[in-house]
Amino acid sequence: MFTRKTTSIIITILSLIIVSAMVYGAVKKQESDSEKYKGWKTYRNEKYGYELRYPPQLRLKAQPKQKTEESSFIYLELLNSAQPVYWQIQSYFNQDKIRLDDLAKKAGTIVPSGNKTIEVIKINNVEARKVTLDSYPSDMNLDDSNYIVDNTYNITTIYIVKNNMVYTLSCRNKKGKTQYNCASFSQMLKTFKFISK
């Protein structure tokens, strides 16, 4: 039978082992993340209060500012490539106070689309909606049986509503002959975070 003192010592040793293992795991995860994002660049938007990291082979381009609305629109493209990579980030003032669920439901209603799914997710502890859908070409060429397949995009869009702002992060992957890599999109989403303005 253990004495009270012996039991106390055993509990203290076990506690130290558990805490040490947790600290070691956290350090290892940090090292792993820093290796995963080694050489990546950081885009920081002070006005709209967010930042994210992106691979060095991509270049950010900003759309000219619209005079009619408070918004920011950027996209990423591959360096040394005539083909754009369809990654887009848009932020704009939520003038109509649109709710997150309503934004997700509205996605894909302007152009012909199908295979739509909506998921509730979190991006760095902020609630979001992930909408995935197929966007069909608006000028469907019925004479060419491969036209629809070759010109359909699979689009993944993340919607976030925060502080009277709407943030959308999108990736388009062409389903036909030309494929665009959306694998880095998931990695970039893990680095997206809000910053103090």
**Would you identify the CATH topology of the domain 40-194?**
Protein Transport Mog1p; Chain A (3.40.1000)
Q: What is the pLDDT of residue 140?
A: 63
Compute the distance between CA of residue 88 and CA of residue 73 in angstroms, rounded to an integer: 7
pLDDT tens-place string over residues 9-57: 888 888 888 877 777 766 666 556 678 888 998 988 888 888 988 888 7
pLDDT in tens, 55-79: 887 777 766 555 445 666 666 665 5
pLDDT band at 119 (very low <50, low <70, confident <90, very high): very high
Kindly report the average pLDDT of the chain as a whole number: 77
Q: Tell me the per-residue pLDDT of 122-132, one tens digit each, with 9 for 90 and over.
A: 988 899 999 98
Residue partners of 147: CB distance under 8 A and separation at least 6: 137, 140, 141
pLDDT at 1: 55
Domain residue ranges in the chain: 1-36, 40-194
Confidence of residue 189 (pLDDT cuts 50, 70, 90): confident
**CA atoms of 161 and 78, how far apart (whole Å):** 29
Q: Is the pTM of this model over 0.95?
A: no
The percentage of the chain sitting over the pLDDT mark of 70, rounded to a whole number, equals 70
Give the pLDDT of residue 139.
67
pLDDT beyond 90 at 164: no
Alpha-carbon distance of 51 to 128, in angstroms, equals 16
- Sign of the dihedral through C-alpha 92, 93, 96, 98: positive
DSSP-derived secondary structure letter, 32? H
Which residues touch 14 (CB under 8 Å, ≥6 apart)?
none
